[in-house]
Amino acid sequence: MTHRELRKKFEEFWKSKNHREVPPISLIPQDDSTTLFTGSGMQQLVVYLLGEPHPLGRRLYNIQPCFRSQDILEVGDNRHTTFFEMMGNWSLGDYFKKEQLNWFWDFLTKVLGFEKERLYVTIFEGDPENKLSHDFESKKIWKEIGVGNDHIFSYGPSKNWWSRAGEPAKMPEGEPGGPDSEVFYDFGVKRKIHERSPFRNLPCHPNCDCGRFLEIGNSVFMEYKKTKNGFEELPAKNVDFGGGLERILAALNDEPDIFLSDVYLPIIKALESITLTKYEEAENKQKLRIIADHLKATVFLIKAGIYPSNKERGYYLRRLLRRVAVKIYQLTAKTAEVKELLFVVEKILEIYKHLYFQDKDLTSIAEVIREEIHRFNKTLKKGMTLLLNLNNPAGKKIFDLYQSYGFPKELSEEILRERGLTFSQVEFDKEFEKHRQLSRKLSAGVFRGGLADHSEKTIKYHTATHLLHQALFDVLGESVRQEGSHITGERLRFDFFSLVKPDEEKIKKIEAIINEKIKKELPVYFVFLDREEAFRIGARALFREKYPERVKVYYIGPSLETAYSKEFCGGPHVQNTREIEPIKIFKWEKIGTNIYRIYAGNTKKLEE
């Protein structure tokens, strides 16, 4: 089955169950300051899972492009990728476990034609420490469906509980989560259990990570919210389903290697032709998988408006491209040719043509890749020179090469071996672990607060960005286009495109307009409107976003007709601008061609 056929079947099935499509959001989440990328289909639905009404109703579905930066080092096996598409359906307080499990089983067995004996299910066995009970209800439903006891497995919170932050103990206050029930496909081939697997000493089973089983769908019963006193039930019991399109496709084709499906195989073939290597040869497979995944993720990130840099989202894009260059060097013993990389990029655009890309996208994507690869190829050669001049290659020095120049340990090891040299693996691992712990700490910092960090201060800054957005139009004109925003409890950051260059005088004028509106104590309201009506009345929208037929519009002012600001947004916001308090623009800078960044807040404490 092709990926386009799978998409069509998924959409038709949920439409038949009276679900409406909620368009996927950008890889840059606009209403969530707590995470750098969209990493799940439910990310745009958090406020609705917590109880707010959705403009499209209570039954929804979509296919959401996702990027998970934390999976970069996992790429290289047959199933892990940084970029993937999540097929999802949701019930916002409508149906619950019985309908969801029966419908998903019907979709798998009746629509897609999976053999029932090849499917295994898992349920939540409870978490006594957090007073969360065993999900006997789901087990009963699965048995009524016809799944035998030998195909039902129970696991604890590390495996069968889902929230954006992980298991219950890791969830911040305000974050929703719940027990889940997963479905696995059995490829019927036992492989060596991974040495790091927590289940390596147990008989083969769905979560043993041996390669025999592949998770193809996860029904989360989103019914709890974390509080300082433990877990409390949400206003309504919700369903949040996610199934990886690439994984379902692999199972449908009974092929455990997702890189042999039609969303990857054209990329692999193109890479074989430019590197003069063969994918079936074991020494090439991991490197070709990494290049294929990283180039695909690169294309989608650039399309979302991200540019290589040393900070936040741009850092991850830069890291992906540099790993591509290094892996190509490992395969070919020469630096990557941009022309050859763009040949591969064309194949990626062809796979998703008319879904996410048009032919014209190649020009802008190529420009970013060309500049970054040219720059890194010079760095790559410099790193090689430093490596070849090392006469005492301590483990720390090899790690510094890895960290500063993107040199993988294996490449350094190979080059040193040719010179009859070795380095301390223990010392390298020690430095690597220190770096890993720091990265985890930083990642946890990005996610602090939960639920898009709906603290009083961030809600104020969220509303302030609406005033800033409109003030930019007032001063710089209609060419202004929002590129992204990031809000913490300390400050707001706003990125925008403008053909008119801001200067000190214009920035002061923008600041004055914002504070004038705050001083006027304008009320803040929202209304549900048909999408075309919202555009007609002048509501501001993000140009890269696709919006559903019915949208939520927040407006600042006494009436919709006379409002100062009207903007497509999911919320939340203050009730009156006086709650925001005076805003100061502390810093502004140019970050790209006609793209600028503003930092503002109530104090001078900035987190850049």
Work out the end-to-end distance of the chain between its first and last CA atoms, rounded to an integer number of angstroms.
46
- Supply the pLDDT for residue 125: 95
Query: Please, which residues bridge with residue 388 across strands?
Result: none
Going from the C-alpha of 348 to that of each of 181, 295, 500, 574, the distances in angstroms are 33, 8, 35, 43
Closest CA to 13 of 142, 84, 112: 112
Closest CA to 431 of 383, 397, 389, 387: 397
- Supply the pLDDT for residue 467: 95
- Supply the pLDDT for residue 197: 47
Residue given tokens 């147990």 in the structure block: 202
Tokens standing for 61?
């579905």
Structural domains in the chain, CATH included, are: 3-258 (3.30.930.10), 259-446 (no CATH), 456-601 (3.30.980.10)
Q: Do residues 168 and 219 make contact, with C-beta atoms less than 8 angstroms apart?
A: no
- Supply the pLDDT for residue 32: 65
20-21 and 59-67 strand pairing: parallel
Compute the CA torsion angle 524, 526, 527, 528 (nearest 10 deg).
Answer: 160
Q: Is 332 helix (H, G, I), strand (E, B) or coil?
A: helix
Q: Do residues 44 and 31 make contact, with C-beta atoms less than 8 angstroms apart?
A: yes
Q: Is 80 helix (H, G, I), strand (E, B) or coil?
A: coil
What type of residue sits at position 337?
E
Q: What DSSP assignment string belongs to 400-454? A: HHHHHH---HHHHHHHHHHTT----HHHHHHHHHHHHHHHHHHHHHHTTTSTTT-
φ and ψ of 119, to 5 deg: -110, 135
- Supply the pLDDT for residue 33: 63
Q: Where are the alpha helices (DSSP H) in 27-135?
A: 46-49, 97-106
- Give strand ranges (E) for 320-384: none
Indicate the pTM of the whole model. 0.73
Query: Please, which residues bridge with residue 552 across strands?
Result: 528
Closest CA to 362 of 345, 339, 338: 345
Q: What DSSP assignment string belongs to 99-118? A: HHHHHHHHIIIIIS---GGG
Tokens standing for 597?
């960044």
Those residues whose C-beta lies under 8 Å from the C-beta of residue 203, and which sit 6 or more positions away, are none
Positions in the chain short of pLDDT 70: 31-34, 189-203, 406, 408, 411, 436-454, 543-544, 603-608
Q: What is the DSSP letter of 335?
A: P
Q: Distance between CA atoms of 481 and 503, rounded to whole angstroms?
A: 17
Q: Distance between CA atoms of 491 and 483, rounded to whole angstroms?
A: 17
Calculate the CA 325 to chain-centre distance.
Answer: 23
Q: Do residues 147 and 172 make contact, with C-beta atoms less than 8 angstroms apart?
A: no
Q: What is the DSSP letter of 311?
A: S
- Supply the pLDDT for residue 509: 96
Those residues whose C-beta lies under 8 Å from the C-beta of residue 69, and which sit 6 or more positions away, are 36, 37, 82, 316, 443
Q: In degrees, to the nearest 5, what angle opens at C-alpha 518 toward C-alphas 517 and 522? A: 70
Going from the C-alpha of 355 to that of each of 90, 143, 212, 349, 478, the distances in angstroms are 22, 39, 32, 9, 29
Q: What is the DSSP letter of 75?
A: T
Tokens standing for 341?
């990389």
Q: What DSSP assignment string belongs to 275-299? A: HT--TTSHHHHHHHHHHHHHHHHHH
CB neighbours (10 Å) of residue 83? 23
Tokens standing for 564?
């100062």
Q: Distance between CA atoms of 456 and 444, rounded to whole angstroms?
A: 20
Residue given tokens 């087990």 in the structure block: 139
Q: Considering Cα of 207, then 210, then 212, then 218, what sign does the dihedral take?
A: positive
Q: Distance between CA atoms of 258 and 247, rounded to whole angstroms?
A: 6
